[in-house]
A = this chain, B = another copy of it.
Amino acid sequence: MKKWSFLLLFSFVALQAFANDGYKLWLQYYSINNSSYREIFSSVYIEGESSTIDAIKDELARASKGMFDEDVVESSDEGANLRIQLYDQGLRDVIPEDEMNSLSEQGFFIKEINYNGASQVLITAKSQIGLLYGTFRFLQKIQKNEKLPTYGFKDAPTIEHRILNHWDNLDRTVERGYSGFSIWNWHRLPRHIDQQYIDYARANASVGINGTVLTNVNANSLILTPEYLEKVAALAEVFRPYGIKVYLTARFSSPIELGKLETADPLDPEVKKWWADKVEEIYDYIPDFGGFLVKADSEGQPGPHNYKRTQAEGANLLADALKPYNGIVMWRAFVYSEESPEDRAKQAYNEFKPLDGQFRDNVIVQVKNGAIDFQPREPFHSLFGGLEKTPLMMEFQITQEYLGHDTHLAFLAPMYEEILQTDTHAKGEGSTVSKIVSGQLFNHSLSAIAGVSNIGSDRNWTGHHFHQANWFAFGRLAWNPEEKSSNIADDWIKLTFSSNEEFVRPVKDVMLASHEMVVNYMTPLGLHHIMAWDHHYGPGPWVTGKHREDWNSTYYHQASEYGIGFDRTAEGSDALKQYHPELEKQWSDPETTPEKFLLWFHHLPWDYTLENGEILWDGLAKRYQEGVDEARSNVEVWRSLEGFIDAERYEHVLSFLKIQAEEAEWWKNACLLYFQQYSQKPIPEGVEKPEKDLEYYKSIDPKFVPGI
Q: Chain A interface (Cβ within 8 Å of chain B)? A: 1-7, 18-19, 21, 23, 54, 57-58, 60-62, 65, 71-76, 170-172, 180-181, 186-188, 191-196, 222, 227-228, 406-407, 457, 459, 648, 651-652, 655-656, 658-659, 662, 702-706
Contact = CB atoms under 8 A, between A and B. Distances in A.
- In the A-B complex, list the 5 residue pairs whose CB atoms are closest, starting with the nearest: A2-B74, A4-B72, A192-B655, A7-B58, A3-B71
Task: Count the copies.
Answer: 2
A4 B57 contact: yes
B704 A192 contact: no
B71 A704 contact: no
A247 B180 CA distance: 24
Contacts of A23: 21, 459
Contacts of A5: 61, 71
B1 A75 contact: yes
Contacts of A74: 1-4
Contacts of A459: 23, 196, 459
Given A406-B188, A706-B187, A65 B1 contact: no
A7 B57 contact: yes
Nearest to A651: B195
Given A4-B60, A5-B61, A196-B459, 12 more contacts: A1-B74, A2-B73, A4-B72, A4-B73, A6-B62, A7-B54, A21-B23, A187-B704, A187-B706, A188-B406, A227-B703, A459-B459
B192 A407 contact: yes
Given A75-B1, A187-B704, A648 B222 contact: no
A186 B72 CA distance: 45
Contacts of A57: 4, 7
A191 B662 contact: yes
Nearest to A42: B1
Contact of A1 (B73, B195, B228): B73
A187 B73 contact: no
A407 B188 contact: yes
A21 B461 CA distance: 14
Contact of A6 (B4, B58, B652, B658): B58
Contact of A222 (B60, B191, B703): B703
Contact of A704 (B65, B73, B170, B651): B170
A664 to B, nearest CB: 14
A531 to B, nearest CB: 16
B705 A187 contact: yes
A18 B71 contact: no
B21 A195 contact: yes
Nearest to A64: B4
A645 to B, nearest CB: 14
Contacts of A659: 188, 191-192
A4 B59 CA distance: 11
Nearest to A46: B4
A75 B1 CA distance: 6
13 contacts: A1-B73, A4-B74, A6-B61, A7-B57, A18-B65, A186-B704, A187-B706, A191-B659, A191-B662, A193-B655, A196-B459, A222-B703, A227-B702
Contacts of A648: 195
Which of A65, A76, A658, A702 has its CB near the most chain B CB atoms (within 10 A)?
A65
Contacts of A407: 188, 192
Contacts of A222: 703
Contacts of A170: 703-704
A27 B703 CA distance: 35
A4 B656 CA distance: 40
A39 to B, nearest CB: 14
A368 to B, nearest CB: 26
B181 A457 contact: yes
Contacts of A180: 181, 457
B191 A655 contact: yes
A503 B543 CA distance: 63
Nearest to A655: B192
Contacts of A227: 702-703
A4 B191 contact: no
A531 B143 CA distance: 53
Nearest to A705: B187
